[in-house]
Amino acid sequence: MVQRQLPNPAELLELMKFKKPQFDGTTRRLDAALTIADLRTIAKRRTPKAAFDYTDGAAEGELSLRRARQAFQDVEFHPGILRPAPQVDTSVDILGGPSALPFGIAPTGFTRLMQTEGEVAGAGAAAAAGIPFTLSTLGTTSIEGVKAANPHGRNWFQLYVMRDREISYELTRRAAAAGFDTLQFTVDTPVAGARLRDKRNGFSIPPQLTLGTIVNAIPRPWWWYDFLTTPKLEFASLSTTGGTVGELLDAAMDPTISYDDLAVIRDLWPGKIVIKGVQNVEDSVRLRDAGVDGIVLSNHGGRQLDRAPIPFHLLPQVRRAVGDDFTVMIDTGIMNGADIVASVALGADFTLIGRAYLYGLMAGGRRGVDRTIAILRTEIERTMRLLGVASLAELEPAHVTQLTRLVPVAKSVSEAVVR
Q: What is the pLDDT of residues 30-39, one digit of tens each?
A: 999 999 999 9
Give kind and range of the element (H or E) at residue 296: strand 294-297
* 328 has pLDDT over 80: yes
Q: How confident is the model at residue 413 (pLDDT cuts 50, 70, 90)?
A: very low
Q: Which amino acid is at 360?
A: G
The predicted pLDDT at position 246 comes to 62
Q: Are the beta carbons of 36 and 376 closer than 8 angstroms?
A: yes
What is the secondary structure of 127-139 as a DSSP string?
A: HHHT--EEE-TT-
**Would you list the domain boundaries of the chain?**
28-392
Rounded CA-CA distance 123/127 in Å is 6
Average pLDDT over residues 259-271: 96
Q: For domain 28-392, which architecture applies?
A: Alpha-Beta Barrel (3.20)
Residues 272-305: tens digit of each pLDDT = 999 999 999 999 999 999 999 999 999 999 999 9
Please give the distance of CA 21 from its chain centroid, rounded to a whole number: 33
* 330 has pLDDT over 90: yes
Q: Are the beta carbons of 299 and 279 closer than 8 angstroms?
A: yes
Q: How confident is the model at residue 247 (pLDDT cuts 50, 70, 90)?
A: low
Taking all residues of the chain, what is their mean pLDDT, rounded to a whole number?
Answer: 90
Active site residue: 78, 152, 300, 313, which one? 300
Q: How confident is the model at residue 1 (pLDDT cuts 50, 70, 90)?
A: confident
What percent of the chain lies above the pLDDT cut of 90?
68
The predicted pLDDT at position 205 comes to 61
Rounded CA-CA distance 158/151 in Å is 18
The predicted pLDDT at position 418 comes to 45
Choice between 233 and 189, residue whose per-residue pLDDT is larger: 189
Give catalytic status of residue 300 as yes or no: yes
Q: Which amino acid is at 161?
A: V
CA-to-CA dists, residue 118 to 234, 347, 379, angstroms: 12, 32, 25
The predicted pLDDT at position 313 comes to 96
